[in-house]
């Protein structure tokens, strides 16, 4: 959803007890029919969120692996999802566009602000469009970067790929941050390795703002397997995209825990200001501008409300 609509960890859906302090005796009462209906709807929506039903096998397996890795490291520091069923899973009136979105916020002692995961499947004039997103935003208790992974597939043989650790600081003013986050972790080697593949070419976003937010090691590429067919894109994901994505997520998870240090009040305030601007622009540029054309204003209003709640904007 940062650059089209965006997405996050393997989530088990939690019962209403996690959202409300219910008396213990309520556990032993059979739920009313309306509660059972709501629970079934939520469970179905949660299952849809996790299954990525429209992805090719290697892509689906990769997303499952990435979300499992994030859940294993950060899951205990996250609050249960409170996203309603009609946002966990949604469709337009014509049934030509479907999507799923889930968001989990960090607990009070977590470095995580929120983790968002989403998928979209839309029938457009050129064919089927699939967008899968993992977007993880950290809070001001750490200065580790944010994480964005987005896969935009407009045909069975091509893929636009965005993977980046979004800087929390101006890299010109803070060269030590550039060195510690991007140089010493050898992040650019993953970009270089993908760029050498003959099927890969640079993808340049039309948004100058989006390009200004990304780091110098951002992977933003178009993968076109052409005559190799679906097996070609499957092989690229399995042998090249998957290992790079897992490395980047692993580096980010390590930074989440290793960058816990005392931040000065001015430094923290500047980070919060920068983060808030990114959140506002994400909603303004991406969601409010693009989603209504695919899903209609009623559906988009529900989605935007949940995202604004998580973003606290």
182 band by pLDDT with thresholds 50, 70 and 90 = very high
All structural domains of the chain = 51-311 (3.40.1500.20)
| Mean pLDDT estimate for the chain | 83
49 band by pLDDT with thresholds 50, 70 and 90 = low
Across residues 103-124, what is the average pLDDT?
93
Q: Give the DSSP per-residue string, 147-160.
A: EEEEEEEEETTEEE
Q: What is the pTM of this model?
A: 0.83
More confident residue, 248 or 157: 248
Q: Are 120 and 131 in contact (CB under 8 A)?
A: yes
pLDDT at 190 over 90: yes
Across residues 265-283, what is the average pLDDT?
90
Distance CA 143, CA 269 (A): 12
The pLDDT, as a whole number, for residue 286 is 67
The pLDDT, as a whole number, for residue 13 is 29
Per-residue pLDDT of 258-268, as tens digits, reads: 887 778 889 89
Across residues 144-165, what is the average pLDDT?
94
Distance CA 244, CA 193 (A): 9
The pLDDT, as a whole number, for residue 88 is 95
The pLDDT, as a whole number, for residue 261 is 73
């Amino acid at each position: 959803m940062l650059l089209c609509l965006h997405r996050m960890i393997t989530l088990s859906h939690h019962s209403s007890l996690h959202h409300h302090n219910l008396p213990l005796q309520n556990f032993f009462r059979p739920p009313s029919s309306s509660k059972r209906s709501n629970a079934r709807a939520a469970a179905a929506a949660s299952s849809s969120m996790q299954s990525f039903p429209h992805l090719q096998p290697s892509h689906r397996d990769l997303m499952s692996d990435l979300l499992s890795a994030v859940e294993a490291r950060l899951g205990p520091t996250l609050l249960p999802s409170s996203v309603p069923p009609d946002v966990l899973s949604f469709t337009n009136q014509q049934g030509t566009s479907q999507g799923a979105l889930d968001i989990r916020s960090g607990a009070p002692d977590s470095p995580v602000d929120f983790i968002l995961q989403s998928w979209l499947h839309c029938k457009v004039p050129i064919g089927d469009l699939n967008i899968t997103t993992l977007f993880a935003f950290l809070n001001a208790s750490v200065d580790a970067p944010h994480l964005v992974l987005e896969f935009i597939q407009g045909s069975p043989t091509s893929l636009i790929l965005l993977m980046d650790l979004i800087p929390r600081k101006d890299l010109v003013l803070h060269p030590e941050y550039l060195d510690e986050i991007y140089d010493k972790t050898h992040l650019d080697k993953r970009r270089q390795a993908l760029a050498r593949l003959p099927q890969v070419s640079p993808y340049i976003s039309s948004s100058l703002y989006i390009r200004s937010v990304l780091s110098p090691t951002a992977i933003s590429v178009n993968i076109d397997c052409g005559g190799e067919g679906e097996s070609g894109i499957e092989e690229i994901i399995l042998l090249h995209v998957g290992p790079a994505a897992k490395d980047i997520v692993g580096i980010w998870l390590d930074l989440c825990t290793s960058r816990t240090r005392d931040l000065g009040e001015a430094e923290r305030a500047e980070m919060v200001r920068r983060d808030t601007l990114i959140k506002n622009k994400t909603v303004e540029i991406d969601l409010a501008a693009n989603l209504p054309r695919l899903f209609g204003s009623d559906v988009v209003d529900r989605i935007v409300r949940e995202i604004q709640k998580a973003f606290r904007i």
